[in-house]
Amino acid sequence: MNDMDEYTELIDQRLRSYYEAISKEARTYHPFIGDVSAQVGEFLLRKGKRIASCSTLLTYKGYT
């Protein structure tokens, strides 16, 4: 596994756990808000959305 894959997996795990918690909390407020939050999380977890963040991490790693 290369650095890009490693960072992508770490970011995916953090985003997944964050949006699961947010969606759960949002459902207690209103079911519609929970559904919207879950859909936003699903959209953000699609492949190809984190190239900029991974590139930033790799650049930082290269300079430190």
- Domain, as residue range, for 12: 3-63
Is this prediction's pTM over 0.85? no
The pLDDT score that the predictor gives to residue 53 is 67
How many structural domains comprise the chain?
1
d(CA 50, CA 11): 8
CA distance 32 to 38: 10
pLDDT of residue 29: 92
Query: Which pLDDT score is estimated for 26?
Result: 92
Q: At how many degrees (to 10) do helices 3-29 and 31-44 cross?
A: 170
Q: Which residues of 11-33 are buried (b: 16+ CB within 10 A; e: fewer)?
A: beeebeeebeebbeebeeeeeee
- pLDDT score at 4: 72
Q: What is the pLDDT of residues 16-60, one digit of tens each?
A: 899 889 889 999 999 999 899 888 888 878 776 666 666 777 777
